Chains A and B, each alone.
Chain A
């Protein structure tokens, strides 16, 4: 089959090298996006390199509970058990980001599969798959994932799956419409009339060309998954053995009126992260879809 594909392949190849450079330069000209990227890198460094410098176990009770930020040498203060919030922000950030990425990955895998098949095959398959998508759209997202986590127990796995399962529909729609567009393009049509297998065409030929909007969507997904995890934790649905930003919020929530900082700080961390991600996402969107730039 590779023989028949030869003439088709150079085209996407060419498309993806020089536009990449153009994309990067376009991205770099977008100050907000660059600022977002810098912020994101800073957060990643804080979260992954920070614990190497600030070696405190986030579970260890190091000082009196609710030491105010800045006092007694605790930059971000301590929580209700007297655990160092700075350490929790670092280690917890790893988990929050991991959950964000993993949940986004789950939703991208489901969404791309559904969208790709729907867009590629059309007809009854498309109809069925899009009805399936619509079905998931009428589920109350947060309530539904709350119920899943409550019923099956709060662990990283259930939380990730619960978020992924309710948030893939947007990816499916984007993927489908891209596929609808691309499958009509000449080189795809040519390959289809040849002996190329459907799966090969879907994942090797069309998907790479449909990626830009999917990447943008996936990027947004990471941000909303982090928010989602935090909301679940806030409602008390998180695994107490794993430090995450949401976990800090959830466990300090009863003390809002007396020590709001223990909730405000992780909330701010989430805000900054999601902000950085969405700025980068906007930049990516503009760089990948030049036509839409003025939006």
Chain B
């Protein structure tokens, strides 16, 4: 199968998954006690039975379940995730507004984790019983065992309370004067602690992974052949071993994406980062069901996209997969 065909198949399958996700989300929200009318009524300071009936009619909540579901799915098909009564804004707009902050957090922390993690992994693999190797083992245990909000809080205690170097939260300073560069610096300054917190979990994972796959590749036949051919050790190391350990790294990074998003929700809560996680938490607290469903759907959508991209990247990196 050519790459195009595979892509088409994956995309088609992804669409089916998305519809299933929509149905599940919608069913769950409908089955749960309370509905949008309750939220609107609560927000208005209460409403009696007639007003409730009116609201239900306006939002189509009085229709049979399947009709509502159909209305929702067909709206989503046109990228309309509904209207948030709480924010008075279309859900799609809301999500797109918050998306950059979350993407910035997720990608910067992933880049940090992958670069530092790979670096540590490579150093560890060079001396499998050395100091760095031990550190990697220790780090990976820490990364797995430490609750992400706890690492965040420890960082806050250290760098906000005791040594006030970093801001306690938010994405930018109160005064937003200055040019693009000043703003970028300001955001980076606010980004630092949340980024490090989120990266700490994955840093461990990637360093351990790189170390393991490097060791495996270094022990394999063709590296031995390469060595036997008299290639310089460094070249063997970086050209062959490192390149071959990229595959597992991409796979894991792709697979972990959903977990990274979960981590981001918590980190956003710790540091008040104004992203999708914060939006999700706020809409859960307000039971803003259109927004809740929108975010759930959008997250699944992103995971599916990342899965497809991972798959394609893997095939490009490693031609062997293509044949299998």
Contacts and interface: CB of A to CB of B under 8 A. Distances in A.
| A–B: direct contact at CB < 8 Å | yes
A140 B160 CA distance: 31
B258 A270 contact: no
Contact of A140 (B17, B168, B303): B303
A138 B146 contact: no
A148 B28 CA distance: 8
A46 B148 CA distance: 24
A231 B151 CA distance: 12
A39 to B, nearest CB: 11
B262 A271 contact: no
Contacts of A295: 212, 216
Interface residues of B, number: 50
B157 interface: yes
Contacts of A260: 153, 156-157, 161
B262 A151 contact: no
Nearest to B293: A147
A80 interface: no
Contacts of B307: 138
Contact of B262 (A137, A141, A152, A236): A141
Given A135-B17, A137-B258, A143-B295, A231 B28 contact: no
A134 B16 CA distance: 12
Contact of A257 (B32, B33, B168): B168
A141 B153 contact: no
Tell me which of B21, B33, B144, B307 has the highest count of chain A C-beta atoms within 10 A of its own C-beta: B144
A295 B128 CA distance: 11
Nearest to B16: A131
Where chain A touches its partner, the secondary structure class is helix
A142 B148 CA distance: 13
Contact of A223 (B145, B154, B212, B295): B145
A275 B157 contact: no
Contact of B21 (A135, A141, A151): A135
Contacts of A142: 261-263, 265-266
A267 B215 contact: no
B150 A257 contact: no
Contacts of B216: 295
28 contacts: A135-B17, A137-B258, A138-B258, A139-B21, A140-B303, A141-B262, A142-B262, A143-B295, A146-B265, A146-B284, A147-B29, A151-B32, A152-B33, A231-B266, A235-B265, A235-B281, A256-B153, A256-B157, A257-B161, A264-B150, A264-B154, A267-B146, A267-B147, A271-B146, A274-B144, A274-B146, A279-B141, A294-B215
Ranked 5 nearest A-B pairs via Cβ: A267-B150, A142-B262, A151-B32, A140-B299, A275-B145
Given A135-B17, A267-B147, 6 more contacts: A135-B20, A151-B32, A256-B156, A264-B150, A274-B147, A275-B142
